[in-house]
Structure 1
């Protein structure tokens, strides 16, 4: 697919999703200048897994191996490690760095205070969220922050939440951009999440995506000293200067 640089700049989230499926050739004044493509290499049992995504282990996590949902549950049942399971791939989540945790603490504080006395409740990782693209494609993720509006109705007999959050927040690490900006964006959009916040401490940016009918309806990227705003919760906002101290 070929698109202009202006089109990519104006609809970056859309083309990140499309890049997971095919290479995007970016043009300027009719000339090809860049390619936007997914990372497709990973490690499993010491060797490469075709079509999988690799993240640097020291930064956040990495694709370990492909597995069925049942195999994932068995492999992680008695483990004290944190894992995510996305489209048949297992990811080990390693300890985040200070800049990640500082942004997480500040943003969760803003969310926690704003939702006091309201129907919805913000929760913070580690907390498993189960999302189904279809009955056969079951995924388990641990977003950094999630806003849940049906907690009491969607708890199972083991006290695990089985619904879909209204808002999901992911805070990027240097090596997780491909997973959070492509695989997770597509997963959240496809499974009924209403709004997705991507917090980038590296560039001091916050991108907010509004999803509807499995599409990106609106998206805004806030920079520098701007204030990020929620689309679906009017009045919910976060000063970037506070998030990125």
Structure 2
């Protein structure tokens, strides 16, 4: 459905999600700028902010809208991505900024969906604890790459050479 509301479709049912708070958007903007600058400089692919659908399953329809995603040129050249209405394959990296109201069970369902379609790396950014949990897919499970706090630097396993200090994300 075409609507101004942010939503995901789970088992054919539209689940409307509340508008993000300002801190969420602030963090999203910082992550987008830093990730995009690295990806563009090295011509590695493209970075996309929500709202943009990833189709997890067709019947019944299930979509997800991660806060941020990275698609490498190996998955699809940038010039072919620009006309897509939705993504029908897995991005390489997904970033979810966890809202205080988000339930652990909802996060687990998203992680299961991302693993099922072949996402290689997920960042769970926790606004309350000012930490970032990075998971990498290893065959059929998520493996913890690290739980990073304010004094730490995150090094992506998928985007070799990309580093970001956790303090930079939250300041």
Q: Normalising by structure 1, report the TM-score.
A: 0.62
For residues 158 and 230 of structure 1, the distance between their equivalents in structure 2, rounded to whole angstroms, comes to: 26
By how many angstroms is 1:152 displaced? 4.3
Residue 105 of structure 2 corresponds to residue 182 of structure 1? no
For residues 135 and 2 of structure 2, the distance between their equivalents in structure 1, rounded to whole angstroms, comes to: 36
By how many angstroms is 1:156 displaced? 10
1:182–1:231 CA distance, 2 compared to 1 (3 A)? same
For residues 155 and 112 of structure 1, the distance between their equivalents in structure 2, rounded to whole angstroms, comes to: 15
Q: In structure 2, which of residues 70, 77, 91 is the aligned counterpart of residue 147 of structure 1?
A: 70
For residues 51 and 4 of structure 2, the distance between their equivalents in structure 1, rounded to whole angstroms, comes to: 12
Structure scoring higher RCO (CA < 8 A, sep ≥ 6) equals 2
Task: Give the equivalent residue in structure 2 for 1:204.
Answer: 130
Residue 157 of structure 2 corresponds to residue 236 of structure 1? no
Q: In structure 1, which of residues 118, 123, 129 is the aligned counterpart of residue 48 of structure 2?
A: 123
By how many angstroms is 1:227 displaced? 1.0
2:6, 2:19 within 8 Å by CA — same for their partners in 1?
A: no
For residues 161 and 168 of structure 1, the distance between their equivalents in structure 2, rounded to whole angstroms, comes to: 13
Task: Give the equivalent residue in structure 2 for 1:166.
Answer: 92
For residues 147 and 119 of structure 1, the distance between their equivalents in structure 2, rounded to whole angstroms, comes to: 9
Task: Give the equivalent residue in structure 1 for 2:8.
Answer: 84
By how many angstroms is 1:93 displaced? 1.8
After superposition, the CA RMSD in angstroms is 2.3
Task: Give the equivalent residue in structure 1 for 2:29.
Answer: 105
SS state at 2:27 partner: helix
1:82–1:103 CA distance, 2 compared to 1 (3 A)? same
For residues 84 and 161 of structure 2, the distance between their equivalents in structure 1, rounded to whole angstroms, comes to: 35
Q: Normalising by structure 2, report the TM-score.
A: 0.86
1:172, 1:180 within 8 Å by CA — same for their partners in 2?
A: no
SS state at 1:235 partner: coil
| Number of aligned residue pairs | 167
SS state at 2:129 partner: coil
Partner deviation per Cα, 1:93-121 (whole Å, 9 max, x = no partner): 22111111111111111101110142321
